[in-house]
């Protein structure tokens, strides 16, 4: 349970934990075998049980629907998902943040986020790639090879399809390597537009996200 004293400080980080979990859960198609949640800086001194429960609820809801903070830890245990919590004193570029890593039989994917001074949760890193973005109601996530002309091609495709872009955030590992686009849009991306994005030459993965 969450005490009245800790609630104001904790609530924004519960929102971050849940949204990071949802982000990772929506991108994961295979059965999850492990989840690691790292708490760096100030957030590591907060109510970790509540934060982890929120993160697990976020991860599991896209797959199972009716999961909440109370039921999520039990559901994760029943499904054989190993959950590890790690406190980090080393902080890096941000004073405090949460990083959530999902492991399946095929891959490992991490996403990190924090709360800015305006109290809003933000993504700060995806798969080791630095990228700063708010969580929008409707988003398009694209992993691609970093090649000239890709951003223009994606923007033109969305524009021609009548998809209105609210924000467009980019990050890459290094020149010519993996890059990520996170696009906030006004409406969900229609199926045919998502299929067209997937057909763009450099695209490795394209997913609709909702928060």
The CATH number of whichever domain residue 171 belongs to comes to 3.30.70.260
Residue 42 shares a structural domain with residue 97: yes
In this predicted structure, the answer to whether residue 8 has a pLDDT above a threshold of 90 is no
Name the residue range of residue 110's domain. Answer: 6-130
Residue 17 shares a structural domain with residue 101: yes
Confirm whether 41 is domain-assigned: yes
Percent of the chain predicted with pLDDT > 90: 85
- 94, 60 contact by CB (below 8 A): no
- pLDDT of the residue at 176: 80
- pLDDT of the residue at 138: 98
Confirm whether 19 is domain-assigned: yes
Residue 15 shares a structural domain with residue 113: yes
Among 130, 155, 187, the domain-final residue is 130
What's the domain count of the chain?
Answer: 2
Confirm whether 24 is domain-assigned: yes
User: For the segment 76-97, what is each residue's pLDDT rounded down to a tens digit?
Assistant: 999 999 999 999 887 677 889 9
Other C-beta atoms closer than 10 Å to the C-beta of 19 total 23
Among 107, 130, 153, the domain-final residue is 130
Q: What is the 3-state secondary structure (H, E, C) of the chain?
A: CCCCCCHHHHHHHHHHHHHHHHHHHHHCCCCEEEEEEEEEHHHHHCCHHHHHHHHHHHHHHHHHCCCCCCCHHHHHHHCCCEEEEEEECCCCCCCCEEEEEEEECCCEEEEEEEECCCCCEEEEEECCEEEEEECCCEEEEEEEECCCCHHHHHHHHHHHCCCCEEEEEEEECCCCCEEEEEEEECCCCCHHHHHHHHHCCCEEEEEEEEC
Here the tokens at position 148 are 């000239």
Residue 11 shares a structural domain with residue 115: yes
Residue 123 shares a structural domain with residue 146: no
Residue 55 shares a structural domain with residue 124: yes
Residue 199 region by backbone torsions, left for phi larger than 0, else alpha for psi between -120 and 50, else beta: alpha
* Cα distance between residue 52 and residue 69, in whole Å: 9
Confirm whether 1 is domain-assigned: no
Tell me what the pLDDT averaged over the chain comes to.
Answer: 94
The CATH number of whichever domain residue 11 belongs to comes to 3.30.1330.90
Residue 124 shares a structural domain with residue 146: no
Residue 85 shares a structural domain with residue 45: yes
- pLDDT of the residue at 9: 84
Among 130, 165, 190, the domain-final residue is 130
């Amino acid at each position: 349970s969450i005490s009245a004293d800790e609630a104001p400080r904790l609530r924004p980080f519960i929102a971050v934990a849940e949204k990071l979990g949802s982000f990772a859960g929506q991108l994961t198609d295979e059965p999850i075998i492990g989840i690691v949640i790292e708490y760096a800086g100030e957030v590591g001194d907060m109510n970790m049980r509540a934060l982890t429960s929120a993160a697990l609820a976020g991860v599991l809801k896209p797959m199972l629907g009716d999961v909440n903070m109370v039921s999520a830890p039990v559901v994760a245990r029943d499904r054989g998902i190993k959950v590890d919590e790690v406190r980090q004193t080393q902080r890096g570029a941000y004073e405090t943040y949460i990083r959530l890593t999902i492991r399946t039989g095929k891959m490992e994917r991490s996403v990190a986020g924090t709360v800015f001074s305006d109290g809003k949760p933000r993504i700060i890193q995806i798969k080791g790639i630095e990228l700063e973005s708010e969580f929008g109601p409707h988003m398009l996530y694209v992993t691609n090879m970093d090649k000239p002309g890709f951003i223009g091609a994606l923007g033109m495709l969305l524009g021609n399809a009548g998809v209105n872009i609210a924000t467009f955030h980019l990050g890459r590992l290094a020149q010519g390597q993996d890059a990520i686009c996170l696009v906030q849009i006004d409406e969900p991306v229609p199926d045919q537009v998502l299929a067209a994005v997937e057909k763009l030459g450099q695209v490795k993965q394209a997913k609709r996200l909702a928060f």
